[in-house]
Amino acid sequence: MNGVTIARYFYALMFAALVTCAPAQAEKRVALVIGNSAYKSVPKLGNPANDAGLIGGMLKKAGFDTVDVRQDLSAPEMRKALREFGTRTRDADVAVIYYAGHGMEVDGTNYLIPTDAALETDADVYDEALPIDRVLVSIEPAKQLRLVILDACRDNPFAKTMKRTVASRAIGRGLAKVEPTSPNTMIAFAAKAGSTASDGDSRNSPFAVALSDHLPKPGLDLRKAFGFVRDDVLRSTANKQEPFVYGSLGGDDVPLVPARPAATGPQANPQSELRRDYELALQLATRDGWEAFLTQYPDGFYANLAKGQLNKIAAEETRASAEQKAKAAEQEKARLIAERAQKAEQEKAAAAAKAAEEARIAAEKQKQIEQAKAEAAERERKVAEAAAAKALAEKQAAEKAKAELAAKQAAERAEQAAKPAADRQLPEAGQKVAALSPGPTSPLSAADLAKSVQSELRRVGCLTSAAEGEWSSAAQRSLTLFNKYAGTQFDAKLASVDVLDALKAKPGRVCPLVCNFGFKADGDQCAKITCRAGYRVGDDNECEKIPERKPAAREEPRRRDQERKDAESAAPKSQASGQMICNSAGCRPVGKGCRLGTVKNMYGASPTTEICN
């Protein structure tokens, strides 16, 4: 085999390896998340905005190409969001819509209620709300999976005040059952048809928490994932709320997040990064930290430890709530005793206080149990990590000794082969040897690397200033923001190639759009807020009605002017007795110590005169 044949054979092997190892083209996944909390005609809902943030973050971490999170949308804004999302689904394989807020069923049709809906009559729902069919139209172009998740089965406050225009028009409790007509379409309800869902006592609803726990598990079929969601919600609501799924899929598994490919070559030890993240969550010691850890690592040894830590936090929250209720019951009991209430009321308050105290004691014991479990698990973790470290060290020492022995043997063989041989022949003149040598690589300079990283930070929405060749404080702050919203832990003081690679892997915006006063986020741009006539932008960046100006009060100045004129026209008051004496020369006050009276003379009584002493 000559040199040309060797070269062709080598290139053929390289091409075959590239073709064999090239990854299949990843499917495109898009999502729209809507959370309506701030309703204008009914009381505000507590959790939909929080639930939308939780599900949106979960989908972003799951690797979706586009995740559009919208909150508190009016009817025109909801229609616009669905129209824009329908455009993005035309070339998508997977499309997901999640909605949290109010919904209602009228005559067998489900409607999603925007925040500006008033629904004074049952006929207004056709103009002010959006039918579920409009949502299904938006995801229709997706090729492989169409998923709609409705956390909208809450108790409907509009139905209580809504006037009925037609007596036969049916307004149901919760949402009505649906049957999708398109293949590979699923619609998931937070509660099955005809029942309502709970908002829960925590920051997120039980349904949203269960979704974030199970949907992002790689390779888990959606039907199994929603089965786990159902079990968790039933458990957390004491069997009062049962999620339900409508539609059907084929025989193959359909995961929301594809399974991770198996490693084919030498890989870095993943336990080191997992352990680092676990210890970071342990330092934070918050519910959000442990939930984020479980989202990233849902299974395994450290996941079980994290669940134990969450149980410990839940026990502490239950204990604090029980303690507060016990204190309130004791205060109510003392108040009734102080007000000398009826004996029955006092006994009822005493029983409530006793029950609350017993609940507090039970919660305290449960907290101690969970804390002891967590501490025992931590001890077991440290023992297991020490054993693993010892085994790894022994393995590395054995491999090192083996490598040293192999190197020694190779050196001996090379030394023997290097001895001169009398019969060694030179290669023929016409023979050519093909050699492949990699070309020299020229890494980026520090200035080019800093500028490239800043350009990528601008693209993902974390940097607003221009890209420069210097790694400035603004660039460090932008990388800190990227770490916060992307879940990374890069050193913000340095611009590295790893940071550049991580930024390039993000297909769209990572940091949220922040708009100035008078503007609101509209996709990837800030749009000016325009208020209708008689309204203006208020301090909360929302349109508010301009208060009417009241006419200035003029009665007070008039009254003061009249009093001043009366005082000027009035006769001066005497500084003595207050009496006045008048004669042909005029009037004057009676002197101090004097008075008016008559004096008898030889002719009889004299006229009134001033008498002093």
3-state helix, strand, coil in the chain (%, to 5): 45, 15, 40
Q: Is the pLDDT of residue 165 over 80?
A: no
Portion of the chain with pLDDT greater than 70, in percent: 81
At 607, is the pLDDT very low, low, confident or very high (cuts 50, 70, 90)?
A: low
Q: If you average pLDDT over residues 209-220, what whole number do you get?
A: 90
Q: Is the pLDDT of residue 227 over 50?
A: yes
Among 15-24, 248-257, 565-574, the minimum mean pLDDT is found in: 15-24
Structural domains of the chain, ranges and CATH numbers in brackets: 29-248 (3.40.50.1460), 271-299 (no CATH)
Residue 459, by phi and psi: left (phi above 0), alpha (psi -120 to 50) or beta? alpha
Residues β-bridged to residue 185: 146, 248
Determine contact, residues 222/254, Cβ cutoff 8 Å.
yes
Among 109-113, 266-270, 377-381, the minimum mean pLDDT is found in: 266-270
- Please give the pLDDT value at position 327: 87
Most confident of 15-24, 124-133, 396-405: 124-133
At 231, is the pLDDT very low, low, confident or very high (cuts 50, 70, 90)?
A: very high
- Please give the pLDDT value at position 252: 80
At 86, is the pLDDT very low, low, confident or very high (cuts 50, 70, 90)?
A: very high
Give pLDDT tens digits for 417-458.
665 544 444 444 444 444 444 444 445 688 888 899 999 988
Q: Which of 31, 67, 29 is nearest to 485 (CA)?
A: 67
Q: Is the pLDDT of residue 53 over 50?
A: yes
Most confident of 96-100, 305-309, 387-391: 96-100
Q: What is the pTM of this model?
A: 0.43
- Please give the pLDDT value at position 24: 42
Distances (CA, A) of 190 to 148, 463, 465, 592: 11, 38, 43, 96
CB-CB neighbours of 129 under 10 Å: 23
Q: If you average pLDDT over residues 55-83, what whole number do you get?
A: 93
473, two tokens: 């404080």
Residues β-bridged to residue 611: 595
- Please give the pLDDT value at position 175: 81
Distances (CA, A) of 289 to 131, 277, 306, 463, 497: 38, 10, 10, 26, 28
**Contacts (Cβ under 8 Å, ≥6 apart) of 376:** none
Mean pLDDT taken over the chain: 79
Q: Is the pLDDT of residue 23 over 70?
A: no
The three-state DSSP-derived secondary structure of 168-218 is CCCECCCCCCCCCCCCCEEEEECCCCCCCCCCCCCCCCHHHHHHHHHCCCC
Among 9-23, 203-217, 330-344, 444-458, the minimum mean pLDDT is found in: 9-23
Give pLDDT tens digits for 196-206.
776 667 788 88
At 211, is the pLDDT very low, low, confident or very high (cuts 50, 70, 90)?
A: very high
Q: Is the pLDDT of residue 31 over 90?
A: yes
**Contacts (Cβ under 8 Å, ≥6 apart) of 73:** 34, 36, 81, 114, 115
Q: Is the pLDDT of residue 543 over 60?
A: yes
Give pLDDT tens digits for 463-485.
888 888 888 988 998 999 899 98
Backbone angles phi, psi at 109, to 5 degrees: -110, 135
Residue 205: CA atoms inside 13 Å, Cβ hemisphere, count? 31
Q: If you average pLDDT over residues 100-120, what whole number do you get?
A: 87
Q: Is the pLDDT of residue 166 over 70?
A: no
Alpha helices in 469-605 (DSSP H): 473-486, 497-504, 555-569
Q: Is the pLDDT of residue 350 over 50?
A: yes
Among 132-141, 272-281, 349-358, 569-578, the minimum mean pLDDT is found in: 569-578
At 15, is the pLDDT very low, low, confident or very high (cuts 50, 70, 90)?
A: very low
- Please give the pLDDT value at position 106: 83
CB-CB neighbours of 58 under 10 Å: 25
Determine contact, residues 151/140, Cβ cutoff 8 Å.
no
CA dihedral 582, 588, 593, 597 (to 10 degrees): 10
Q: Is the pLDDT of residue 286 over 60?
A: yes
CA-to-CA distance for 290 and 109, rounded, in angstroms?
A: 40
Q: If you average pLDDT over residues 575-582, what whole number do you get?
A: 65
Strands (E), 242-367: 244-248
Residue the block writes with tokens 């936090």: 313
- Please give the pLDDT value at position 281: 85
- Please give the pLDDT value at position 440: 42
Q: If you average pLDDT over residues 363-388, what whole number do you get?
A: 85
108, two tokens: 């067998």
- Please give the pLDDT value at position 148: 93
- Please give the pLDDT value at position 401: 84
Class of residue 430 by CB neighbours under 10 A (exposed 0-12, middle 13-18, buried 19+):
exposed
